[in-house]
Structures are given as structure tokens and as C-alpha cells.
Amino acid sequence: MSPKLSVVVPVHNVEEHVRACLGSLAGQTLRDLEVIVVDDGSSDGSAAIARRFAAGDDRFRVVHERHQGPGPARNAGIRRATGRYLAFADADDVVPPHAYRRMVGSLERSGSDLATGGVERIDGERAWRSWMHDGVFSRPGAGVRFGERPLLVRDRCVWNKVFRRGFWDDQGLTFPDGLYEDVPVALGAHLAASGIDVLDDVVYRWRKRSGSITEGRFDRDNFAQRVGMALALRERIERGAPDLLPAFDEHSLIDVDVRVLLEGLPRVPDDDRAALVDLGADAVRRTGAAVREKLPALLRLQLHLLEHRRLDDLLEVLAFIRDGGPKSAPVVKRGGLRPRWYAGYPFFDDADRDLPAGLYDVTDELRAVARVDTVTWTDGRLRVEGHAYVDRIGAAAPGDMRLRLWLVAQDKLGLRRVPITRVTRPDVTAASAQAAVSCDGTGFVAEIDPADLKVLGRRRQVDWRLAAEVSARGVRRRAGVQAPRSARHRWPVPVALPDGSRVWALGTGGFRLRVRRPDALVTAHRRAGDALEIEGLLAREPAEGLRLVARAGAGTSVKVPAEVAAQPGGGWSFWARVPLADLAPADAAPVLTWTFTLSGGLALHLDDVAATADACHRISARDRAEAVVTRTRGGELCAVVRQAAPVVTRVAWEEDDRLVLSGTYAGAERPAAFVVRRERSGQQHSVPVEWHGDRFTAVLRPSRMPRFGVELPLGKGRWNVLCALGTDETAVVVARGASSGLPVPRIVGFHEIEPHAAKDDGLQLRVKVGLPVAERGGHAQARLRTADYPRYRTRPLLDLAVFDSFNGRQYSDNPRAIFEELRRSDLGFDSVWVTADGQFPPPDGARTVLSGSREHYEALARARLVVGNWRQPDWFDKREGQTYVQCWHGTPLKKVGYDLRAMPYKRTEGADWMRHDVPQWDLLLAQTPYVVPFLRSAFRYDGPVLDTGHPRNDLLNRPERHAVALRVRERLGIPAGKKVVMYAPTWRDDFHFAIGKRAFQLELDLDRASAALGDDHVLLLRTHYLVTDKPKPGENPFVIDVSDYPDIAELYLVADVLVTDYSSSMFDFAVTGKPMLFYTYDLERYRDHVRGFYFDFAETAPGPLLGTSDEVIDALRDLDAVTRRSAPAYKAFRRRFCPSDDGQAAARVLARVLPDRKEVEIPA
């Protein structure tokens, strides 16, 4: 008998990920399927992994083909497929467990030709919705036509779909050769389909992988094939469905293909840019003028420059966007009776450029921004606080803007003016991300009496939407008022009116008040044995045979009879019992949400009484599962079936900035600690938990979390509170009924901390840098830069030194060594350290200032000495009498600065900072004379250089180094006698998500290293300071993640051997004389394409260059022999790069920059 579904998986050299892909297919809840794995000439272990799956599961088959590419491989799989339905998966991606069951089930119900669903991007632990599919699946539907859903032009891939095989064959669909082979097939199927099922579920997880076709999209040939494919497809749509052409031009050709070209243009080799501009110009010229006219002005400007092949101007605009220029661009008003508004983007009003003014017209982009911030019920009246303004125009004072609010009934038959009081809200300006305008005067307060919500004197059961009209500087805009962002307002409780109606303040679909006289009101729910018992009141007598219906998505329902009884005082009550086991079927999703109604579609609203509070019930029929009986955002009864989790019922601040979490847990385990882990970075802390029966209490101090022997605050970001239960990890969740009691944001030290409930109810601490409102945001920073800083510069200089290491990230490196020498020398200087995020303790003898604070501006304006190892803020303007010492943060092997421009790979980050910063340097430090020419070339610097060693290496030669090493081992918990391997790779320029967001991929096999080296070794993992995204730490006791350790120099003291790659750490570690290994798995690409080297690394390296993880492990096992073989090269390396690292480099710096300070002794 043929299977219901055939899944075709082309495989080519994806050994690292294919196991996860095939495992996700084997775990599908739709069991009736076959998986045809087509080995497309793999040369790694991919095929062997697939064969092992086939040997253990007869639903898998492996087909071997010579390498031709994914299109022919898919065609080969289709020829062997026997299922009634057809699907595709790429071997490096993952299919969620219920994806095929939902799509096939939808097709069987609807009879449509294909089903398609949502896509999520993944990378390690990180997941996010695919931008390419933005908006496509927000409105589900069955049997829709392509013309009814124009946004389906963005649904261009085949792997998030299931096709009816008869439809596939009837249309003669087949994949072409080359790149982007699935786009014409996917859109061709949409064009031909008589019915399409659109699911809003995530049905496919698309991996972001270095080396994949999509990640190689900045290659010239890749661009050519992409644009060629898009234009051929456009011609096909023009012939077959011309009405869809505007949607294709706007949402596919421009917003996907041309967008990628614009993104890549600054990153391709200079010699390829003209050809890419030709491709882009051809594509833009094909699009309709009407489509381009309605695009945002900044995009219109880019398309115009691209179409007219004005490459230099286009690159300047792209740099403006990259550097955040649009947030600071002012708008100006032009014209008389019917004025228009124009944005000050590059070349506006530039007569030499002669660009049409219409390209800058943003009149139609001036939208109203209106939001409710807080909602409180007091004595039956609703107090609403919020803000509203016209974007880019704002209002510095309440009188600068007119604001009116209305409540509009959903059928527009009711309209009520809402009186307001205008208030000043500087926090709105800070949060608006606008530098050019103030929004201080945009706040409002309103009080609403729900008894007034009537139409012609009658109470009507409708939703009342809050709407705003904003008028400022001649611009009038209307908009619906959005709901509060805070989770405190997510789960509303009703307020009862005298006539029995209830009013809910809802946040879905904009802020609105829902007025209902509930047909069915739940007054209590409880556990009764292994069943959920629900009781309530009915507004009228029901028909016979009343049933309670629980639904969890399409096609999944549970129905039970409901008993009805007449109430003595009138009305009716109902009572029903739902077996808990029925809510947790064996093939259920990990999280299943059930909504409840009574037959006839009567919604079950929750009354606001103690008996309807959230409750968790263990489900004995399913291991470690619970049903959480709670409310929807509309205030209706629902149950969430999930893995049992600790539930927080109270979050409160107590004295000494302690945050106390209290709650209950229905499971049997009693974990000793929760984990607080920052998203993306993998950094985490353990928080002890105390138990009293099923109740728990956990206390943490976000401003003083222990880390490496010191107490540091949680850094900015989102910190999830998690709990290990057996081998699983689950979120600690907030009871929905308790979310309204979550504390408001609180300033603690350098941070603003807000306890928050995420969309999955998981408890989260949202941490922001706690600048005062008057110093926060683009507008406040512009004021500090243009008004306060110039005033501070007129005041006398102070005997003050300002130190900054890695843009305020650390207390480390050369600035630390110079500061400590300055403190030891007692020269009468005060010292200030700049911190970006409070991630180091205040150094003895110095105060810390927050980057961007008023204190930071004043310190840099009045300090006599400025010491940094990267760059100063772009507003820093060195004045007469100031000395700026640049201690660049490493001896260069890899090219830096301007020298990177000659490399084929073009980095997203620009070199603009050097044009402003380098001319202000008074002294540049270099470790050795050998590298001075490299540094001069990299920075185009011709000023003084001090090339007598790096101050940061002084510690490695100072007498106290042995005592420091003992303290470091103690902090890290390394027992005496254990050998310490430190792995410190540099970052990869081409492995990033966005400007300032850089990823890390661990290439060293830590599990094998642990097994091979044994218990007498420990590995310190030190990722580069620029890495922002990395996986969560594993449970391997062999590994200690020291990426956040304050200063790597102290780690050098405890490391017995360094494993690195192209990092400048090699030049510092060489001072110790201890062995080094170089794991250079990507040497050719890194050297020849990405970064380039200043000298022949293979000839100069003081240790072996190793290409595989196994080679590194073997070298560590035979380290003595490796060290002997490398001794001559090591000696020559030290002679060339470390001739002056004698422990006195910092003293030489002070002698150079403070020669009149007699207390400074110059070493002999």
C-alpha cells in the first residue's frame, strides 16, 4: 500500500546537520510517510548517516546520484515517490513534529491543490520568523486563490508546502538546474492551483548556515542567477496573471531580490560592483512606476540611483542607512496651499546631484503614533494613560499639538468623545528613536466611565475601539490607539456593570473595550479526580443536549455532555467534566491550547472570582504533563497543556534590590536552582530555590550576580528564567492571573530592570542601560552633543584621565595596565573608567561613568589624558591641552582598518570612525617595531608611535603573577594539578546577523577532546569580545566558558597551552613562553577572501597549523613532542614580536605622555 506522503530530501555535504533533519522527519506525528533521501554526490559522511536511518526505519530510502545540484536531485526523488502527497525538505533544515499532519489534514478537508505554512529561521538556540515570508501567513484560510492573496508572491520556496501529487503531475512541475531552482516551481504552483490552504502555524525551520546557497548570496554569479530567475518569473506572471504583476514587483522583485542586491552591493569586490548595478538597474527598470511611487522615500531614492547606475551616490546612501542616519534625518515643509514634507536624506537640495525632489517626499509616510501605556480600574472607572504624536514631527510641549480621542463602536454606529488631560512625557521622546524631534508634549490621561458606553441610550454588546486624531504643524492624522506593550495588561479581567454586562480592556487588534452580557459565565473550575470540572451560569435556557466543546486547532476537539439546572432566583446553571487525559492525546504537540465553548458556539467567559483563578493540574496519562486552566486575551476560558513547569504567582522587589519570585509547581521534582540565561549570548547564572511543599521561593539580586569571584549586574538584554527538570529544561512561567501584578521597570545601579512575561508566559527579565530619561534616546543625545558638550569644553581642563577598553565593555587590556601604573605612581590624577553596561566592578582609585551619560560627556570634555584601545565616541573633539593615547587592542596578523578594503569580502561595518578618530591620536602604541608599518598603513596614521611593548603584557612578567594565577584558578574552580587548555578563537567577519550582531560557531569537538585528554585536563573557552550570539553552554564539566572573564591577561597565567587561530592573543601569550597550537580549519578562506594577513603566517607561526579537530586533539595528547618541534620557530617569533615586553611598558607610556611628572621613574 502506498504511503500517504512522500518527502524528498536532497543531500550534499551537510554532515553536521543532516541527522537533525532526518530525525525531525522520523519524528513526524503523521506516521504514514516515506522519506526519499537523494545523495547528490556527497563527499563527507552525509550519505552514511542517511543509510543508518534507512537501516533502522523502513520508511526511509537512500538514492545515490552524481552531483548535479538540488534541482536534479529533487527530480530524482520525485520519480521514486509513491505517496498521494508530496513534500520537500532541505537536509540542513528541520521540520516541526506536527507540520505534515497539519498540512495533509488541511488538504484532505479542503480538497485544495497545495498547503503552505509559516517559516522560522534557526541558528543554534536562536529562532526568529523569516523576513522573506513577512505577512504571508498572518491570515489563515482554506481553498484560497493566488489572486486573493497577492502576498503569496513572497512564498517562493517549496519546502514549507505539501502538494497533492495528482496536481503536481497534471501541471508537469519539475525543477530546473542552477541556483534558486525552487522559486519558479513554488510560484508556478501558486499560479496553477485552484485552491491553496494557508496555515499560520510554523511548518518549517530554515537554518542559517555559513556556506549555504542563501548565505552565499553576495557572490556575483549568485546575484546574476537570482535576478535572472526573478525577471524570467516576472515575464511568466505578466503573461499568465498580469493582475498580480504589481504585487510581484513590490513584494518579491523589489522587496526580496533587489533588496538583497542593495544589501550586498557594499560587500562585493569593487570589480564586481558595476556588473551588479547593471543587473539591478535592469530589474528596477522593469517595475511599474505606480509601484515605485508608493514605496517609502528612502527606498525610492535607492532605486532611482540604482536605475541610473549612480554607484558612488548609491554607496553613500547605503552607508547613511547602515550608520542609522534615517533616525536623525529632519523633515521640512515646502509649498503653499497644499504643502508637502521632505526628508533630509543624502543629496536633498543638492543642486549638483540634480535629483527629483519627489524622491524625498515623505508626506504620506508621516503617520500617527498612538498607544496606551497603562490601564487601571479605580472605583469602576477606567484610567488610561498614553501618548500620541505624528512621527517625525512630534511635539515638544502639549501646546505644539492638538489631540482628540474617540471610542468608536465596531459597527461604527456608536461614537463617543473621550475627554483627556494633556501631560508632559519626556520618556516618550527617549523611546521614540527619533533624534530630530522632541515628543515630550505628547502624553495624555483619560478616564472612561463604562456606564457611558451606550448607543442611543442602550447598552450594546460591541467592541469600542479607541481612536486618535493628531494635528501638528499643519499635518492631521488619524489612527487606532495601540494597546500597552507591557505584559501587565495582557490578560484582562472583567468589570461587572449593574445590568449584568461585563467590560474588558483588550489589547488584541488595537486597544478596545469589549462590552458583553455573557451568554455563559464560568464561576468555578476545579480538578475532580482525573477530570476538569467546570461550572457556571447561563443567560437563557439552553436547548436540550447541551454539550461542552474543547477545541485545539482545526479538526481536534473533545465533546462532553453538560448538565443544566434552573436557579432558584431565575436563570440557569451548567456543569461539565472533561477527562484530563482527553486533553493530552499521545500525538499532541508539546504545547496544546484548548478553547472551550458550549454547543451552539456560546463562548465561556471567566468571572473575576477566586474560584476562576489560574490552576495547574497534573495529567497522569502523560509523563510530566499538566493542564493549565486560565484565560485567553479576550477573557475566555482556555486550557494550555504543556510540560509541567514552575509557575510564578508573585514577583516583588524587596529591600537591598532583591527580586523575589514565589510560586507553585505541580510536578514531583524539586530543583535546587533556577537558571537565568541571556538570550543569544549564552551567559547564565544559577539562582537557588527554597521549597515548602509544592511552593517555592527564589531570590536574586540582578545588580549583584556572582561571576568569577566578583559580583556584577545582569547586562542589558533579555534574561529568561529556566528550570532543569530531569534531562529537560523548561521555562519558569508567570501565571496569567498574576501578570497584572508584575513590577513596573525599576532603575537598579546602571540598569533599568523589568520583570516580564513572554508570549509563551515564560518569566523574563528585560534589562536596559539605565540612563536617566533626560539623557536617553537620540534626541537627548543630540542635545548633549550639541549643547552640553560644547559648554563643558569651555571649562578648564582637570588633572583627570579617562580610560576606555573595548568601547566600555571591559576593565582590561592596555588601558587597565596604564591606569594601574598611573595609580601606583601617585601622580595626582583622578581617573574615570567608561562602562557601556556596568560589566566590571569599579576599579580601586577610579569612578565609573556610563557611556553616553552626562558625566561621560563632561569627563571627555575636561580630561587632560584620554586612553583607549579602540575608538572614542564620534562626538569626541579633542581640545588643546588634551592628550589622546591610542593603545590599539592587538598586534596585527590579520589586516585591519583601511587595509581591509582590498579584500574580496566586504564587511558591513565601515571605516568612517577612523576619519574622525585617527587624526586626534597623539600617540599610538605598538608591541614591536616590526608591526609599525602595518599599523600606519591600516590607519593612515603618520603621527608618533611608541613601539616598546604592550602594557597589557606587563602582568605576565611582574613578580605578583604567580599569586594572581593562584587566585584565578580558585575563582574558576580549577583544582591543583589539572592541566589547563585555553581555546581562544577570533571572530569571523562573515558570520554575523547584522551590524553589531556577530555569531560564533564552535568547530572544536569538545566531547572528543574531553574523552581523549581525560579528567586531568580542563578547557577554558574564550570567545572574542565582539561575539554577541553563541549557543548556550553545555553540561560538559571539561569546559569552563570564560568569555566574560574581565581580562584575558589573567587567563594567560593559568593556561598551560593556548589553542587559537588568527587571534592577536598569540603575540601576548608568546611572552609566557608556553606552547601554542593553531586550529586553522578555514585558513584559505580567511586569509585569501575574508581578512588577509600582513605576513606569511605559515612560515612564522610558533606552533603547528592544524586543519581538523582530530589534529588539535592529537597534538594536545603529544604536546611535549609538538613543543620540541616548534621550539626554533617559537624562539624566532618571540624575538620578532615580544622584544620589549619586560613588565615596564606602561611606565614607558606614562614617561612619554607625562614627561613633566617627576615622580615617574624611567626604567633603565
DSSP 949-1012: --GGGGGGGSTTHHHHHHHHHHHHT--TT-EEEEE-----TTSEEETTEEB----S-HHHHHHH
Point out the domain boundary residue: 186, 216, 246: 216
CB 859 within 8 A of CB 800: yes
pLDDT-derived band of residue 992, with 50, 70 and 90 as boundaries?
very low
Together in a domain, 154 and 77:
yes
* All three cell numbers of 693: 511543599
Q: Domain of residue 234: give its range.
A: 217-324
pLDDT-derived band of residue 494, with 50, 70 and 90 as boundaries?
confident
Between CA 476 and CA 472 the distance in angstroms is: 7
pLDDT in tens, 675-706: 999 987 778 899 999 999 999 999 999 999 99
DSSP class of residue 567?
A: -
Whether residue 212 is predicted with pLDDT greater than 50 in this model: the reply is no
Between CA 1070 and CA 958 the distance in angstroms is: 15
pLDDT of amino acid 912: 79
Looking at the domain assignment, is residue 996 inside a domain?
Answer: yes
Together in a domain, 1004 and 874:
no
Together in a domain, 212 and 224:
no
Together in a domain, 401 and 451:
yes
Together in a domain, 693 and 797:
no
pLDDT-derived band of residue 555, with 50, 70 and 90 as boundaries?
low
pLDDT in tens, 81-120: 999 999 999 999 999 988 999 999 999 999 999 999 999 9
Point out the domain boundary residue: 487, 514, 541: 514
Phi, psi of 688 (to 5 degrees): -60, 150
CATH number reported for the structural domain that contains residue 57 in this entry: 3.90.550.10
Point out the domain boundary residue: 769, 800, 829: 769
pLDDT of amino acid 554: 65
Looking at the domain assignment, is residue 375 inside a domain?
Answer: yes
Quick one: average pLDDT of 461-490? 94
Name, in order, each residue with C-beta under 8 angstroms of 981's C-beta and a sequence gap of 6 or more: 1009, 1013, 1017, 1018, 1019, 1020, 1055, 1056, 1057, 1059, 1116
pLDDT of amino acid 990: 59
Buried b or exposed e, range 762-794, using 16+ CB within 10 angstroms? bbbbbbebbbeeebbbbbbbbbbbeebbeeebe
Quick one: average pLDDT of 473-501? 91
pLDDT in tens, 271-329: 889 999 999 999 999 998 899 999 999 999 999 999 999 999 999 999 999 888 998 89
pLDDT of amino acid 457: 80
Q: Rounded to an integer, what is the distance from CA 273 to the centroid of its chain?
A: 30
pLDDT of amino acid 1033: 55
Together in a domain, 1060 and 1097:
yes
Distances (CA, A) of 1014 to 465, 510, 613, 895: 66, 59, 53, 38
* All three cell numbers of 266: 557594499
Quick one: average pLDDT of 881-895? 96
Q: Which of 903-917, 1030-1044, 1115-1129 has the highest mean pLDDT?
A: 1115-1129
Quick one: average pLDDT of 361-383? 94
Quick one: average pLDDT of 953-964? 94
Cβ neighbours around 543 below 10 Å, total: 8
* Contacts for 956-963: CB closer than 8 Å, 24+ residues apart: 956/1049, 956/1052, 956/1053, 956/1068, 956/1071, 956/1072, 956/1141, 956/1143, 957/1071, 957/1141, 957/1142, 957/1143, 958/1143, 961/1053
Between CA 280 and CA 287 the distance in angstroms is: 11
Between CA 89 and CA 99 the distance in angstroms is: 12
Label the pairing between strands 979-983 and 992-994.
Answer: unpaired
Cell 497534471 appears where?
Answer: 170
pLDDT in tens, 938-954: 999 999 999 999 999 99
Between CA 639 and CA 628 the distance in angstroms is: 5
Whether residue 994 is predicted with pLDDT greater than 80 in this model: the reply is no
Looking at the domain assignment, is residue 356 inside a domain?
Answer: no
Together in a domain, 434 and 310:
no
Distances (CA, A) of 886 to 353, 879, 909, 923, 931: 38, 16, 20, 6, 15
Together in a domain, 187 and 251:
no
High-pLDDT (> 90) share of the chain, %: 74
Distances (CA, A) of 470 to 364, 369, 405, 602, 895: 15, 9, 9, 39, 53
Together in a domain, 272 and 291:
yes
Looking at the domain assignment, is residue 352 inside a domain?
Answer: no
* All three cell numbers of 483: 494597546
Looking at the domain assignment, is residue 929 inside a domain?
Answer: yes
List the alpha helices (DSSP H) in 27-133: 46-56, 70-80, 99-110
CB 455 within 8 A of CB 414: yes
Between CA 119 and CA 95 the distance in angstroms is: 10
Together in a domain, 99 and 210:
yes
Angle separating helix axes 46-56 and 15-26, nearest 10 degrees:
20
CATH number reported for the structural domain that contains residue 1024 in this entry: 3.40.50.12580
Quick one: average pLDDT of 807-824? 95
Whether residue 1003 is predicted with pLDDT greater than 90 in this model: the reply is no
Whether residue 999 is predicted with pLDDT greater than 60 in this model: the reply is no
Look at the chain and report how many structural domains it folds into: 7
Angle separating helix axes 813-825 and 1145-1153, nearest 10 degrees:
70
Looking at the domain assignment, is residue 198 inside a domain?
Answer: yes
Whether residue 29 is predicted with pLDDT greater than 50 in this model: the reply is yes
**Longest distance between any two alpha carbons in the chain, whole Å:** 104
Q: Is the dihedral of CA 867, 871, 876, 880 positive or negative?
A: positive
pLDDT of amino acid 995: 42
DSSP class of residue 917?
A: H
CATH number reported for the structural domain that contains residue 458 in this entry: 2.60.40
Cβ neighbours around 430 below 10 Å, total: 22
pLDDT of amino acid 395: 96
Between CA 949 and CA 1149 the distance in angstroms is: 10
pLDDT-derived band of residue 337, with 50, 70 and 90 as boundaries?
confident
Label the pairing between strands 602-606 and 592-598.
Answer: antiparallel
CB 435 within 8 A of CB 779: yes
pLDDT of amino acid 128: 86
CB 713 within 8 A of CB 705: yes
Looking at the domain assignment, is residue 526 inside a domain?
Answer: yes
Whether residue 216 is predicted with pLDDT greater than 60 in this model: the reply is no
* All three cell numbers of 599: 454547543
Quick one: average pLDDT of 47-72? 94
Buried b or exposed e, range 336-368, using 16+ CB within 10 angstroms? eeeeebbbbbbbbeeeeeebeeebbbbbeebeb
pLDDT of amino acid 110: 95
pLDDT of amino acid 1162: 46
Between CA 895 and CA 121 the distance in angstroms is: 32
Between CA 861 and CA 362 the distance in angstroms is: 38
DSSP class of residue 743?
A: P
Whether residue 993 is predicted with pLDDT greater than 50 in this model: the reply is no
Together in a domain, 816 and 921:
yes
Lowest mean pLDDT among 377-391, 447-461, 1143-1157: 447-461
Q: Which of 216-225, 439-448, 889-898 has the highest mean pLDDT?
A: 439-448
Whether residue 1000 is predicted with pLDDT greater than 70 in this model: the reply is no
- Choose among 968, 962, 964, 965: nearest CA to 709: 968
pLDDT in tens, 1013-1041: 988 999 999 886 554 445 555 567 888 98
Whether residue 528 is predicted with pLDDT greater than 60 in this model: the reply is yes
- Choose among 88, 86, 75: nearest CA to 168: 86
Looking at the domain assignment, is residue 362 inside a domain?
Answer: no
Together in a domain, 639 and 651:
no
CATH number reported for the structural domain that contains residue 910 in this entry: 3.40.50.11820
Distances (CA, A) of 264 to 208, 257, 261: 17, 11, 5
Supply the mean pLDDT for the chain. Answer: 91
Cβ neighbours around 293 below 10 Å, total: 11
High-pLDDT (> 70) share of the chain, %: 95
Q: Rounded to an integer, what is the distance from CA 414 to the centroid of its chain?
A: 42
Cell 488541511 appears where?
Answer: 106
pLDDT-derived band of residue 903, with 50, 70 and 90 as boundaries?
confident
